[in-house]
Amino acid sequence: MNAAADTPVKSVLITGSSTGIGHACAVSLHDRGIRVFAGVRRPEDGERLIAETSAALIPVMLDVTDAAAIAAAADQIADVTAGNGLDGLVNNAGITIAFPLEFVPLDALRKQMEVNFIGPVAVTQAMLPMIRQARGRIVNVSSVSGLVAAPYIGAYAASKYALEAMTDSLRVELRNFKIPVSLVEPADIATPIWQKSRETADAIRDELASEAGDDEPADTAAEEVQELYAQDIAAMRDAVRKSEANALPVSRVVKAVEHALLARRPKTRYPVGSKAWAVKLALRFLPDRLRDRIVANSLGMK
């Protein structure tokens, strides 16, 4: 069934609309004639989105870790929709922290969970009265990492596993309100998240170096990471480069999000890409040691 032929969503909030998946979804839904509330963290990102689309797109200043910003966004949306409610929420905002778990600073781990898991819960709580009013829909953007956790992205995978669990619970809790809740589970997608992940890893490395004691060389901690995990890190970097080079276009995710929002019968899950399907259909159900060996081998790790 063609989603465009179904009853359209009138108003949709998309978090993390500055770049990547959120940006692409905001532009595409706007072009379908849907009123898009695009969650951004900087005014200039909102201005850029309007320049790319039209003044009909409404930027919303929204940091999903800031309770006051979430409340203000809910008030803004309620004013604009004038009692008609919110037809769709796309929880897309996210970050990736890639680093050996032994050395991940706990503050960085907390931030990973705050942005990728607690943030979506907080935004959903704030928007649910309006979603219930419109009998709208919720779409949570997860990842293949929410199905199988690869090494060195354990923090990120944990946040996506949590998002998957939250979505499964929420879907049942909202069944009597006829509010569909869907998960989009992309594999490797061509977005700026690759570069952002590298920058985050470099920042953690620099933080470890700066926190070295006065009696140690400034880069002792970073050198310890390299010494202990050098072979795996080199293999992981090579695997990431290959994945980035072969990443799917973001339009594949946009198509899944739009079906979840617009189709008469949305799916509960949307694996995007052959890698996501392979993980979903096979890798999750293998014995753990065989699964670990396959994951390590696929990344070029001995």
Amino acid letter, 137? R
Identified catalytic residue from 156, 161, 229, 270: 156
**Per-residue confidence at 21, pLDDT binned at 50, 70, 90?**
very high
**Is pLDDT above 90 for 280?**
no
Mean pLDDT value of segment 275-301: 78
| Whole-number pLDDT of residue 1 | 36
Query: In terms of pLDDT, which residue wins out, 43 or 249?
Result: 43
- The stretch 132-155 carries a mean pLDDT of 93
What is the mean predicted confidence (pLDDT) over 139-158? 92
Give 81's contacts (C-beta < 8 A, 6+ positions apart).
Answer: 11, 130, 134
The pLDDT assigned to 194 comes to 43
β-strand partners of 25: none
pLDDT of residue 219 exceeding 60:
no
> Rounded CA gap, 159 and 152, in Å?
13
Q: Give the residue from 42, 276, 16 showing the smallest Cα distance to 145.
A: 276
Q: Which DSSP symbol is given to 249?
A: P
Q: Judge whether 18 and 277 are in contact, CB under 8 Å.
A: no
Say if residues 30 and 22 touch (Cβ distance below 8 Å).
no
pLDDT of residue 2: 43
| Res 143 pLDDT > 60 | yes
SS3 83: coil
Domain boundaries, the chain: 3-190+249-287
State which amino acid sits at residue 120: P
pLDDT at res. 90: 98
- C-alpha 144/C-alpha 146 separation (Å) is 5
- C-alpha 144/C-alpha 28 separation (Å) is 23
Quote the tokens at residue 245: 């080079």
Which band of pLDDT confidence, cut at 50, 70 and 90, is reported for residue 205? low
- This prediction has a pTM of 0.85
CATH architecture of 3-190+249-287: 3-Layer(aba) Sandwich (3.40)
Please write the tens of the pLDDT for every residue from 86-130.
Answer: 999 999 999 988 888 998 999 999 999 999 999 999 999 999 999
Higher pLDDT, 242 or 28: 28
Residue 3 is predicted with a pLDDT of 45
Query: Tokens for 231?
Result: 């072979």
Q: Give the mean model confidence (pLDDT) for residues 201-206.
A: 53
From CA 95, how far away is CA 160, in angstroms rounded?
Answer: 11
Q: Between residues 131 and 10, which one has the greater pLDDT?
A: 131
* Alpha carbon distance 263, 261 (integer Å): 6
Check residue 273 and give its pLDDT.
Answer: 83
**Whether 156 is catalytic:** yes
pLDDT-based confidence at 217, cuts 50/70/90? Answer: very low
